[in-house]
Chains A and B, each alone.
Chain A
């Protein structure tokens, strides 16, 4: 492919920001969103009036806590003058919104696009936990969940049940075990201890992992991410406009957005890979870099199994072998060959829903991880991947 056609290469990440993050902040979700946005703009060294693009996932709506604010609300609050804006939930995962921003700056539609993802699920769910906001579990679906008629009658209201089945399929097909899966949770918890904004930082042992209550086999409590409140924002800029900004730009080398099978959580042809398979493969088609060039990875762990699935989808290990790949816990550790989820993932740092991984990838590439900075010096290449099922996307990032 002609490099000129890889439009995302014209984009870079010039600023990152995040509001305070907590289990139940009980703060106004809109204020939290703006905190994150303003932090990113400031980090980029830009003024608010220099932002001419806006992108977010999912936009307005969703179950309580799922979105702190949509694009229009932020556009208005910040009094932006935009050349391009977008929001939506039907896209290649949460990072689809950032990928679109890259395309917008690549096309010359905007110079600096503010992208944000804000959640307040911790406060919204309150003491009832997820059941309080689940269709069928606490509230009626009312057509909000696409395909709900095929899942709710069987008490399978959410991805917790569906992805659990995909994990079972992977276990059955490849012999993956819970002990291997546990490494994702254990690694995240270890890294979270070094992240001042992480929700859960207490050490977790394998015994703790197995003693936790089962949610939906094979997932126990620690295989599922922790709902929280927090807003994360990213500024995507045209490379030419970013060179004199505050930080060294993080380049977008390639993106993966493909979804080739049926876009269905249960009809997709290979349930053990989900759509991650296609987005992962797509990314490598758009670069000369190889999986072996990657220094660190931040891979979605809404459920621990999703991380295993991304490792395979991105070719970081052979298909079916993600279990053995993570088994010793050393390879994916902060001082290992392929540090993974260095901020603690969504399993321990909090379910910031996709953007947390991109934020952390940038922190690491900039060398700003502090105590949790990866041990290898000068990391150059990172991957941020988010999503699963029929909504997945990934980005290959390099330090300029």
Chain B
């Protein structure tokens, strides 16, 4: 076993941290407060090459490996980029674009990937429905084969980037009787008749990301918008959510590092009872807990990235362990970070409460902690 990052990855990490601190972080607080998507930062992420890091160069990417993507995601979190923007980036690149990249036809790749890589188009992935969350196979959205394409009817819920997307990868049943094997994946362009956006959802955290309902009412899409073959959608969805349990966890690592820095600085500056609070063991205990958590979590996230780089199409156990650990065991140290700051920790301008709110999603999105336990228990 060996745990080193390459010099290039280490260098990229520093560069992304610097870029994010200069170009994105100054706008984070206001966008979180306003629950507004930061299009300017999005454009900059695209220009910097982060939105298509692992795409082939001929399609606008940098052909980076998954580990490098994890390093970049971690760097964004460490710089102080909010969970909303990193979630938007993750959903766009890994849940939407990557599905087209891996499973799409050459024509589909050429049409969509370059514009997704640049950020000119924003992508989303529609899997969850109002009545089908953890039980994904019970989704009800229907894709009826017609002579001129597929007719989509149904709705999707909790879709990150839904309200601002130009491209949606959606999952629907082409064979309602066939359970998992009846699910297929489709690309739906913005503006397609019958495709509309429902209400945007106001959330506890990740507020700068747009989370919406997608509505399909007799939405006819051309046959060439089918991704892969009919019935292959469930496997694609499982591969997709594995990104939720790997690269999308990377910013959480970075955010914890961000909190460690904030906690240390606050503890060294804040004086009570005649000394910096950093002198008190109760404060040191909290800082230590953050560090212990992030180091424990780091290997898990890197491991799943490494597994994916080995070309293993599915890594259920490794992904579930990473997601479960980060989702469940982050709560106490993050709470400690807020407590360390006292009253200031409860205030928006100190950023820690935002990270606390944002990170709460880790145990929910991309498969709840209970689902991870179900997966692990079945694989034991």
Q: Do A and B bind each other?
A: no
A residues adjacent to B (C-beta < 8 A): none
B residues adjacent to A (C-beta < 8 A): none
